[in-house]
Amino acid sequence: MAKMDHDYRLNIVLVGDNQCGKSFLLSRYCDGMFVENGIQLWHGIEIKNKIIELKNQSTNEIVKVKLMIFDGNGGCKFKELFYENYLKHQHGFIIMYDVTNLESFNNLSNWISKIKNSYQTSNLYPSPEPILFIVGNKCDLIDDSKITTIVDLKKPQEFCDSLSIPSIHNVSVKENINVDLIFQKLSQLIMDTYPPPKISEIKKIKNVDSGGDSINNCIIN
């Protein structure tokens, strides 16, 4: 059997209102690409992965972690499938809003509720509560005189502080500002609090999540 190229796997889901830049964040982080004025033609559930190195605080070792990042976009048909299957068992959730769109910020509470109502803990996903991370995208447009609806960035920070949710509000996927930091911080938080079993141990856990998590259980490498 070939040796695994990573020690752990973390599943991370991107959610948030349309046009916040979720798909572009996925492409920027995993592929190093951003298409100016690009149109997202893919409608469905997109999955990309990337291997990063993190510090295991319990052993003080550097470990390789494979991030499986899920982005559900497209029509209602796909969104219902996404909500039903992909919010239930995940290690972390990135909730995005657009700093130039007040409505996208106001809808953060709805996304948090949707995740909390769907999330279920398990042996592979041991956190008793979903681990959330809020991201404010398009900070490169804040000083654009053509943009009239700007979120006062004090409000998102106060909102996140009140719920004890970690966050970064000055992100620009277009300019590649703080993109890597999002995933580094969230992944380290997961590993420091409720890390999943090592890949080498997963096959020892038999039938632990067989009911209702068939989509995620089919991806164990």
Residues making up the annotated binding site for GTP are 16-23, 71-75, 137-140
- List Cα–Cα distances, 66 to 111, 139, 192, in angstroms: 25, 28, 16
- List Cα–Cα distances, 29 to 38, 49, 52, 206, in angstroms: 16, 9, 11, 33
Strands 8-16 and 44-56: unpaired
Dig out the tokens for 133 from the structure: 């991370």
168: phi then psi, degrees, rounded to nearest 5: -135, 125
Residues making up the annotated binding site are 16-23, 71-75, 137-140
Strands 167-168 and 132-137: parallel
